Amino acid sequence: MRSGDGAASGAAAALIERARALAGAPRPPARAELSALVDSAKAALEKEDSRLRPRDSMGRPGGLLALPALPTILVPDLHARPRFIASVLRWTPPGLARSVASLLESGGANLLCLGDVVHSEYGSAQRRWTAAYHEYVSGWMSKASMDEEMGLSLTAARIVLEAKVAFPAYFHYIKGNHDNISDEEGRGDHSFYKFAAEGEMVASWFAAAYGEALLASYRELELDLPLLALGSRFVASHGEPAFALSRSDIVEYRSRPEVAEALIWTANGEAEPGSVERSLAALLGPWKARRALWFAGHRPVDGRYALRAGGKFVQFHDPAAFRVALLMPGRAADPERDIVDVPAGAALSPP
């Protein structure tokens, strides 16, 4: 391995190489392979330790992750960027001496993705979606553009799911508003469109390519995802809380669709005043909340990050950058110091 891989070995080296190979040639996986991976990821979510993911009143894993006090890498919206997640796994964070994948293997760090694995939104995305829309209305008589789009989306998803299966206690993915493969309206989700009818198109393509049974299984996986993570000095979710939330609200998310919606769909300026501050106090306690920050993606920012809610809410999603937050235990989060860019150039180079 190159020194930049942090001397990865074993399962970490295998994951780095697998992610490199997948990102270098993104294409839709075979049905059997995707089905097996979805089943494995669902099993990993179901078996999560209750200390990490407290159970709801029905005994199921709740919507809250209580992360151990370790270095934590937050990855905002992936949006069909397999090279982004491949680069993060291979990256050696400053001061940690080993690759992220090696740290996951040894239990030395948490890696938390903040949702939205599908739907490309940058570069050639608009051109591809426009071409794919014409394929969609033709009933998929041709589908080269949509195959290209879904190759990117599902390759990013494969890397995420393989990492979850490999290192379930330290690799985590929380739900975003784009994580709605069936384009469902309900259970906290809404149909999505931006450049075209992305939600409808993805659901239609997926059913045509893999069948309704796998579509339903993948949807179950999305609905099993947690919604929010707690660190000792931070909170992270896909979006800004629309209203004040407590631990029990989030743990019981399966019966509270308004909670899911509140954490994945809130646009800038839509949250109730004080929702971030009150939620931090309820989740972490008033003393810790005074120095804690809430991190999220969901909305692109100008510059490296944007502050909302009186500086307590940090947005850091840039669709043109491989940007992450590196949060260390024992110190207060500082976006100026802790939001960094991951080198992209080595993601596809051989070890």
Render pLDDT for 268-300 as a digit per residue (tens, 0 to 9): 999 999 999 999 999 999 999 999 999 999 999
Give the Cβ contact number of residue 110 at 10 Å.
Answer: 27
Q: Which of 108, 111, 112, 116 is nearest to 77 (CA)?
A: 116
Q: What percent of the chain has pLDDT over 70?
A: 95
pLDDT reported for residue 253: 98
Indicate the pLDDT class of residue 348, thresholds 50, 70 and 90.
low
**H, E, C per residue of the chain:** CCHHHCCCCHHHHHHHHHHHHHHHCCCCCCHHHHHHHHHHHHHHHHCCCCCCCCECCCCCECCEEECCCCCEEEECCCCCCHHHHHHHHHCCCCCCCCCHHHHHHHCCCEEEECCCCCCCCCCCHHHHHHHHHHHHHCCCCCCHHHHHHHHHHHHHHHHHHHHHHHCCCCEEECCCCCCCCCCCCECCECCCCCCCCHHHHHHHHHHHHHCHHHHHHHHHHHHHCCCEEECCCEEEECCCCCCCCCHHHHHCHHHCHHHHHHHHCCCCCCCCCCHHHHHHHHHHCHHHHCCCEEEEEEEECCCCCEEEHHHCEEEEECCCCCEEEEECCCCCCCHHHHEEECCCCCCCCCC
Distance CA 261, CA 61 (A): 18
Per-residue pLDDT, averaged over 62-91, amounts to 98
pLDDT on residue 236:
98
pLDDT at 94 over 70: yes
Cα 148 from Cα 74, distance rounded (Å) = 27
Q: What are 4-20's pLDDT values in tens digits?
A: 454 567 999 999 999 99
Does residue 351 carry a pLDDT above 60? no
Residue 310 pLDDT > 80: yes
Give the domain ranges of the chain: 3-120+150-341
The pLDDT, as a whole number, for residue 1 is: 33
Mean per-residue pLDDT over the chain, rounded: 95
- Higher-confidence residue: 344 or 134? 134
Q: Residue 4 has what pLDDT?
A: 45
Q: What is the spatial distance between Cα 295 and Cα 308, in angstroms, rounded to a whole number?
A: 10
Q: Residue 345 has what pLDDT?
A: 66
pLDDT at residue 344, as a whole number: 84
In this structure, are residues 297 and 315 in contact, taking their beta carbons and an 8 Å threshold? yes
Mean pLDDT of 50-67: 98
Percent of the chain with pLDDT over 90: 95
For the segment 222-262, what is each residue's pLDDT rounded down to a tens digit? 999 999 999 989 999 999 999 999 999 999 999 999 999 99
- Rounded Cα distance, 285 and 25, in Å: 47
272: number of Cβ within 10 Å? 13
Dihedral of the alpha carbons of 59, 65, 70, 72, in degrees to the nearest 10: 150
Mean pLDDT of 212-231: 98
Half-sphere exposure of 51 (CA within 13 A, CB side): 4
**What tens digit of pLDDT does each residue of 152-203 get?**
999 999 999 999 999 999 999 999 999 999 999 999 999 999 999 999 999 9
Q: What is the pLDDT of residue 197?
A: 96
Residue 57 pLDDT greater than 70, yes or no: yes
Binning pLDDT at 50, 70 and 90, where does residue 2 land? very low
* pLDDT grade for 119, boundaries at 50, 70 and 90: very high
CATH hierarchy code of domain 3-120+150-341? 3.60.21.10
Per-residue pLDDT, 347: 60
